[in-house]
Amino acid sequence: MSDSEHHDNKVDGLLTQPSLYWSKTYLSSRRIKYVLIVSVAIGQVISCWSGTETHGDRKRACDNLDQSPLSQYSHTPLVVTMLVLLLSAVVAVSVGTPLSLQDSTPQAFTVNLDLAPAQRWGHVVIKFSKLAKDAHKVIASLVPEDAIPLVEEIGSELDSYLPLEYADEMRGIATAMNASLGDIVLVNLAYDITAFCTSIVCQDSKGQIWHARNLDYSYGDILRSITIKVDFQKGGQTVYTGVTFAGYVGLLTGQRPQAFTVTVDERDQGQWWMNLLIAILDQTAKPLSLLVRDVLATSPTYADAVEVLSSTDTEADAYFIVGGAKSGEGVVITKSRIGADDLWYMNEAAPGWFVVETNYDHWVLPPTDDNRRDPAVNAMKAMGQGNISVTSLYNVISTHPVLNNKTVYSIVMSAAQPTALASWIRTP
């Protein structure tokens, strides 16, 4: 049976026996009373897909569902629980009052991609004795206590939700940490869409492309203590590098030498229940951080990376900011779940040599209580194209309120000069 036939049969099963499908696959007996709500949602999504053949058709149809009356059920415990398990819990992150931050350098590790996936991360996570406890602390704040058994169910059926390579890496991490596999899975998914960030791609006067970013999160005390720099190697050679968190297999910040750099910024768009249903029904939808890692591992050029990031279905909206290794290569991809809403190239953004993305669509004004965009733009203009360097970009991303007390780490990198990569943990 082909993949398309398998997918069609799965959808047909949902249409003909939705209650049976959900009760067997996702529900415990005490939650069956919520089947009808979820089944109605599935029916709406399937209906919106009926007769659509292109990504554009699907996207327009599904976007219309954001206005669906189903949004009244956003309080339903089952739906909330399943969202947490399959995507993440959305954490409200506000940019706090800026503080004087102290810098430290992330611990550096090598992950050997020639090893079996379950063996790749053990030497990393054992360096962080509190990792399992901290992970559980984050989970406890996000997931209702009565949902914890469902977390374990997700862990037991991990291969149904994630690519085998990454599922095995998570198993290896859980074993090395003596932690619950469900906790490890949920932490990995939760990091995907809860980051408030600032990313900048720019070109210096000699044509070299540079990329700078701050990553801001809640749980800063925990995340700063587990922030690491990782070289992913094959045959003893670095294929790509990322700054990430111990226990987290995806990447939100990465560099492929002589090819491209990429960062992910959170985009708060659409109904959250649509993210859940897309993840369940569309088998091509990927978690953001795992897509970025795939692209870093397999895309040989900037153009290829932009194409894959723009066209792959994702479990949530996001901004992908990509810088290349050649003059003129820089873009902000405003990504919806299906396809891209916009590609904003550096040479289209006045004054033509840099582009700034925070967490808002570039064609709308940022809110007055979280305007990091204008200070970053003003700092770039004050620096000037002829003065771009690691130090000057560090100063730009250390400008208030671009730097704030939620900032976990900062990084400056250039695919054309991979050894220039520098990163800092920012601690109040």
pLDDT, tens digit (0-9, with 9 covering 90-100), for 223-236 = 999 999 999 999 99
| Pick from 281, 319, 291, 275: nearest CA to 90 | 275
User: Of the listed 48, 62, 197, 202, which one is catalytic?
Assistant: 197
Q: Show Cβ contacts of residue 135 under 8 Å, excluding neighbours closer than 6 positions.
A: 177, 179, 183, 184, 187, 247
Positive or negative: CA dihedral 168, 173, 179, 182: negative
Mean pLDDT of 267-289: 64
The fraction of the chain above a pLDDT of 90, given in percent, is 54
Residue of higher predicted confidence among 61 and 194: 194
**pLDDT band of 343, cuts 50, 70, 90:** very high
pLDDT at residue 217 above 80?
yes
**pLDDT band of 316, cuts 50, 70, 90:** confident
User: Residue type at 250?
Assistant: G
Distance of CA 198 to the CA centre of its chain: 14
pTM of the model: 0.77
Mean pLDDT of 379-408: 97
* Residue 197 is a catalytic residue: yes
Mean pLDDT of 156-168: 83
pLDDT, tens digit (0-9, with 9 covering 90-100), for 80-139 = 333 333 333 333 233 333 445 689 999 999 999 999 999 999 999 999 988 878 877 776
pLDDT at residue 10 above 70?
no
Lowest-pLDDT range of 68-72, 172-176, 293-297? 68-72
pLDDT at residue 280 above 80?
no
pLDDT, tens digit (0-9, with 9 covering 90-100), for 21-57 = 333 333 333 333 333 333 434 444 434 444 444 445 5
Do residues 324 and 209 touch, judged by C-beta distance below 8 A?
A: yes
pLDDT at residue 361 above 60?
yes
From CA 367, how far away is CA 107, in angstroms rounded? 36
Average pLDDT over the chain reads 78
pLDDT at 41: 42
HSE, side-chain direction, 13 A CA sphere, residue 366: 20
